[in-house]
């Protein structure tokens, strides 16, 4: 197969969510997602109306603990 010109129109990101409650910690990675969708999901998880700036980490209080959300950019993905 011949080489093809490839570029990403919408960079892929993943969200890393860490929740700590009562001494227990849970970690979840969601993605890859297009960056606008990742930011919208981060806003929802942080109980915000606006999308969070930069790549985080961002924190919000949850019952009995804290939730930390950060954006992880995908590196050179091969297709």
**Whole-prediction pTM:** 0.76
Which residues are CB-neighbours of 52 under 8 A, at least 6 positions away? Answer: 39, 42, 43, 46, 58, 69
Task: Give percent of the chain above pLDDT 90.
Answer: 59
pLDDT at residue 79, as a whole number? 43
For residue 40, which of 13, 66, 21, 65 has the smallest C-alpha distance?
Answer: 13
Mean pLDDT of 41-64: 91
Mean pLDDT of 31-60: 91
pLDDT at residue 20, as a whole number? 96
Q: Note whether 51 and 70 are within 8 A (CB).
A: no
**Distance (Å, whole) CA 78 – CA 8:** 11
Residue that wins the pLDDT comparison between 51 and 19: 19
Place of tokens 């969070």: 52
Would you say residue 74 has pLDDT above 50? yes
């Amino acid at each position: 197969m011949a080489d093809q010109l490839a570029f990403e129109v919408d960079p892929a990101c993943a969200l890393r969510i860490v929740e700590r409650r009562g001494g227990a910690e849970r970690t979840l990675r969601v993605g890859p997602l297009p960056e606008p969708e990742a930011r919208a999901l981060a806003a929802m998880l942080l109980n915000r109306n606006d999308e969070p700036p930069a790549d985080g980490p961002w924190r919000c209080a949850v019952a009995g603990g804290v939730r930390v959300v950060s954006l992880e950019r995908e590196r050179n993905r091969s297709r």
